[in-house]
Amino acid sequence: MLLGPSLLVSAILFSIGVVGVLLRRNAIVIFMCVELMLNAVNLTFVALSRQLGLDGQVFVFFVMTVAAAEAAVGLAIIIALYRHRDTVNLDNINLLRG
């Protein structure tokens, strides 16, 4: 069935997200990599929900809600940082207090 390949794709996508977070300096791109990791986890939930019941799909629903809230708050933080430092490069943003 499709469970094995789905879990494999999910593992690969999650690892690509991890590499992206470590590889980039742009805060917005790092944020997109976090979304990529959340999506990889969602794929695991959906793949396993075929074997273990529909609760997995309900969890995907919750993960999406949290991802939406996280995106709104995180992008607001990035906008506030940009106003303060005129950059979204994380190498230049290394103080908690500006």
- Which residues are within 8 A (CB) of 12 and not within 5 positions of it... i.e. 6 or more apart? none
List the one residue from 4, 94, 96, 97 that touches other proteins (CB under 8 A): 4
The least distance separating other proteins from the CB of residue 68, rounded to whole angstroms, comes to 6
The least distance separating other proteins from the CB of residue 32, rounded to whole angstroms, comes to 5
Q: Does 93 bind other proteins (CB under 8 A)?
A: no
Give exposure, 39-52, as e/b (b: 16+ Cβ within 10 Å): bbbbbbbebbbeee
Q: What backbone phi and psi angles, to 5 degrees, belong to 89?
A: -80, 120
Residue 91 vs 95, nearer CB to other proteins: 91
In sequence order, what DSSP letters do the residues of 61-78 get, joined into one string?
A: HHHHHHHHHHHHHHHHHH
Q: Does 8 bind other proteins (CB under 8 A)?
A: yes
Q: Does 41 bind other proteins (CB under 8 A)?
A: no
Reference 38, options 65, 6, 77; nearest CA is 65
Binding residues (CB under 8 A) for other proteins: these are 1-2, 4-20, 22-26, 28-29, 31-33, 35-36, 39, 42-43, 46-47, 49-55, 57-58, 60-62, 64-73, 75-80, 82-83, 88-89
